[in-house]
């Protein structure tokens, strides 16, 4: 089913069914924050929109992970073992670890009402990174910066 309409708020009023606007969404994801506009458009070109109904499990802890989700519209509840549930809103993202390593999901994410996410699959991103190594380098440099900033002296 095609997604139509607009996403308001964080992304302004823009059509959410137009892939050329998805680069603006990716800017808010730290993993992609070092990419230039051309690179963001390339990554956005690997994405797809997905819509979920209320109470749908978007991902389940322990399941194989293969994608990153960026919350375009709606809210989700993230549940991790031993921690209180957290509600995430538009602009949030989840699944970034699995995008990189393909490992099992560390949390269960449940739709609170209708939800639309922009999804980047691991397989499509890896294909792009093989074709565009400069994007991979920029992402690695950003990861290294973030790791370095978390080190305790």
| pLDDT at position 86 over 80 | yes
Give the architecture-level CATH label for domain 6-122+129-150: Sandwich (2.60)
**Mean pLDDT over the full length of the chain:** 86
Mean pLDDT of 97-123: 93
| pLDDT at position 7 over 50 | no
Q: In a 3-state reduction of DSSP, which class is residue 111?
A: strand
Mean pLDDT of 86-109: 91
Quote the pTM value: 0.82
> How much is the pLDDT for 44?
92
For the chain, what are the domain ranges?
6-122+129-150
């Amino acid at each position: 089913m095609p997604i139509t309409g607009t996403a308001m708020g964080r992304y302004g009023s823009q059509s959410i069914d137009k892939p050329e606007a998805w680069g603006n969404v990716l800017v808010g994801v730290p993993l992609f924050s070092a990419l230039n506009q051309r690179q963001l458009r390339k990554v956005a070109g690997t994405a797809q929109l997905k819509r979920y109904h209320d109470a749908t499990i978007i991902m389940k802890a322990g399941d194989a992970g293969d994608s990153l989700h960026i919350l375009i519209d709606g809210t989700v509840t993230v549940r991790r073992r031993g921690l209180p549930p957290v509600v995430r809103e538009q602009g949030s993202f989840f699944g970034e670890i699995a995008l990189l390593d393909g490992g099992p999901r560390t949390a269960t994410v449940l739709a609170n009402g209708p939800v639309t996410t922009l999804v980047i699959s691991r397989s499509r991103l890896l294909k792009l990174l093989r074709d565009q190594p400069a994007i991979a380098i920029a992402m690695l440099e950003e990861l290294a910066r973030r790791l370095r900033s978390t080190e305790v002296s």
